[in-house]
Amino acid sequence: MTRRPDPTGRPLFEIADVVRRYRSELEAEQPLTIIQRRVLSAIASCRTAALGGYLDLCPRCGFEHPAYNSCRNRHCPKCQALVQEKWIAARSERVLPVRHFHVVFTLPSELRSLAKYRPREIFGALFAATSQTLLELGHTHFRACLGVTMVLHTWTRDLRFHPHVHALVTAGGLDLGMGRWIDSSRKFLFLVDIMGELLRGKMMAALSELSARGRFEGFDEFRDPLGFATWMSRLARRHWIVFAKKPFRRVEHLLRYLGRYTHRVAISNSRLLAVTDAAITFRTKNGKSASLAPVEFLRRFLQHVLPDGFHKIRHTGLYASTRALDACAIARAQLRVRSEAQAVALPPSWQERLRQLTGVDVLHCPRCGARLEHRPVPSPTCLPRAPPERTAA
């Protein structure tokens, strides 16, 4: 599959191209879950006639252009930009005007196979252990409550399975008596070794509880009666990796960073360099690239499909929704900054938001500038069907 450079600047290739061409080969090699099949179908049909849409007509010059509906699946690389901007605008009203640290909590390699077997339980335990680690250290070190936003990622740049949580943490917190704001050190939040030890202890406690409830029944490595105990002893000796980056000094930088991480999918269309029957080539990092056979590419992509209804973005401490109207408001008052001052103005419509993001004006004719008329185009599945033909008795 080869293409000439697109003069509009759009990606030369799309994940949807790969799905439509090689999905059948993947399904011939391995069974897919209902959720995985649903994701592939959504990506393949996104912004095509299969989902229906509108025909944009210019009453002045006769220009016509079809505009098809999006699938709105959270794993689709084409459906996140507008959702992301709306989310950032909403969160900007809650983010406190203080420095924020970026801390990454990584699941050890020994847990990856179990995470694939029980993703909801393991990812949920990782979120809980990360939250408890940060809040507990905030209480013991500062006698304060921190504000934390966490985002789950499960991939590396070459699409391998690598679950980790990105935590954006306030550099300090509201003291437990809710009387004043307490700043952390300007250089670091907590020692990474201490965070790693706490994370390990809390995750192992959660794993023991899940095992006692029978949530790991049927997992191959635990069929041996001593399998779970042996596996846990290995985890206890393992060094759990926690990585901390320099703090963001300004809220504007933090919000831009949030935009890059919160609604990111495993791979974007812009990273695809070549699509052939032999290999899918895509950018990784530092100017490097990787090539995978098409079926292997899709297999790796599907590793990162999350369970239905699982929330990959979570807030705790001052940023928890249940405390947003009390503790977070008190902290903002202590910092003497009104929430309205840092709010991001959200354009009134998705068309205007799209224009701000991409420069594309879907409301006016690109030829003469006249206001376009939008006529609905139903999806083929919604078209009325002819009555069945009668068969001879």
pLDDT at 362: 73
Which whole number is the average pLDDT over 195-224? 95
Q: Cα angle at 225 between 212 and 201, to 5 degrees?
A: 45
Q: Are 67 and 372 in contact (CB under 8 A)?
A: no
Q: At what angle do helices 294-302 and 34-45 cross, to 10 degrees?
A: 120
Give Rg (Cα) of the chain: 25
Distance CA 313, CA 323 (A): 17
Q: Are 187 and 170 in contact (CB under 8 A)?
A: no
pTM higher than 0.75: yes
Task: Band the pLDDT of 8: cuts 50, 70, 90.
Answer: very low
For the cut 50, the answer to whether the pLDDT of residue 353 exceeds it is yes
| Residue 275 or residue 357, greater confidence | 275
Task: Band the pLDDT of 172: cuts 50, 70, 90.
Answer: very high
Q: What percent of the chain has pLDDT over 70?
A: 86
Which residues, 6+ apart, have CB-to-CB distance to 250 below 8 Å?
Answer: none
First-to-last alpha carbon distance for the chain, in angstroms, is 51
| Residue 95 or residue 324, greater confidence | 95
- What is the number of other CB atoms lying within 10 angstroms of the CB of residue 193? 11
For the cut 50, the answer to whether the pLDDT of residue 66 exceeds it is yes
For the cut 90, the answer to whether the pLDDT of residue 217 exceeds it is yes
| Residue 59 or residue 6, greater confidence | 59
Task: Band the pLDDT of 211: cuts 50, 70, 90.
Answer: very high
Type and span of the H or E element at 364: none
Which residues, 6+ apart, have CB-to-CB distance to 290 below 8 Å?
Answer: 157, 158, 281, 282, 284
Tokens read off for 304? 């990162």
Which whole number is the average pLDDT over 31-56? 92
Q: State whether residue 253 is helix, strand or coil.
A: helix
Residue 371 DSSP one-character state: B
pLDDT at 390: 45
pLDDT at 289: 96
pLDDT at 358: 62
| Residue 275 or residue 264, greater confidence | 275
Q: Are strands 161-170 and 242-248 parallel, antiparallel or unpaired?
A: unpaired
